Structure 1
Amino acid sequence: MKQSPTGLQYTILKKGHGPKAKSGQQIMLFETTSYRTGQVLYSNENTTTPVKVLIGGKQATKAVDEALVGMREGEIKKIVAPPYLVKRTGYPPNVHPDSTLVIKMILHKIL
């Protein structure tokens, strides 16, 4: 795994194609979020409905926004995000606010 200056760890599981995603662009994303133990907290990976995200638009956590920049369509990236990069105002009942999260992201489409 590589590590960014913010402490985000990541690895590219599959390379994508086409232009790189940039801050300010909308993308369609499949995602699976889990604890380091492998316990899945959220996933839309096995659905036909990706989530639309504006990169840098505060719609996702800092970790997801950071990891999306530079990804290409079809790329699969696994990130390990420390708690300070996944902080949010509201937490689903199954997510502890001080958790390190593992997120598998599939950039489906850049809009």
Structure 2
Amino acid sequence: MHQSPSGLQYKIVKKGHGPQAKAGQDILLFETTSYRNGQVLYSNENTTSPVKVLIGGNQATKAVDEALLGMQEGEIKLIVAPPHLVKRKEYPSNVHPDSTLVIKIILHKIL
């Protein structure tokens, strides 16, 4: 695993192709979020419905926004996000606010 200056740990599981994603672009992604023990909190990975996110548009956590930068279509990235990078206004009932989360991101398409 590599670590960015923010404390985000990441590993590219599968390389993508084409241009790199930049701040201000809309993308479609699949993701699976879990605790470090493997307990899945959210996943749309096995659906046909990717989530649309504006990179840098406060639509995702800081961890996901940071991880998306530079990704290419088809790329799969595994990130380990410390609590300060996954803070949000509201937490789903199954997510503790002080959790380190493991997130698998699949960049489906850059729009």
TM-score (normalised: structure 1): 1.00
Offset from partner CA, 1:12-57 (integer Å, 9 cap, x none): 0000000000000000000000000000000000000000000000
Question: Would you say how many aligned residue pairs link Structure 1 and Structure 2?
Answer: 111
**2:85 aligned residue:** 85
Distance, in Å, in 1 between the alignment partners of 2:64 and 2:88 is 12
Q: Are 2:28 and 1:28 aligned?
A: yes
**2:7 aligned residue:** 7
**1:94 aligned residue:** 94
**1:55 aligned residue:** 55
Which residues in structure 2 correspond to 1:63-74 (within 5 Å)?
63-74=63-74
Identity in percent:
83
Q: Secondary structure at the match of 1:48?
A: coil
Segments of 5+ residues of structure 2 without an aligned counterpart are: none
The AA in structure 2 aligned to 1:33 is T
TM-score (normalised: structure 2): 1.00
Distance, in Å, in 2 between the alignment partners of 1:85 and 1:45 is 22
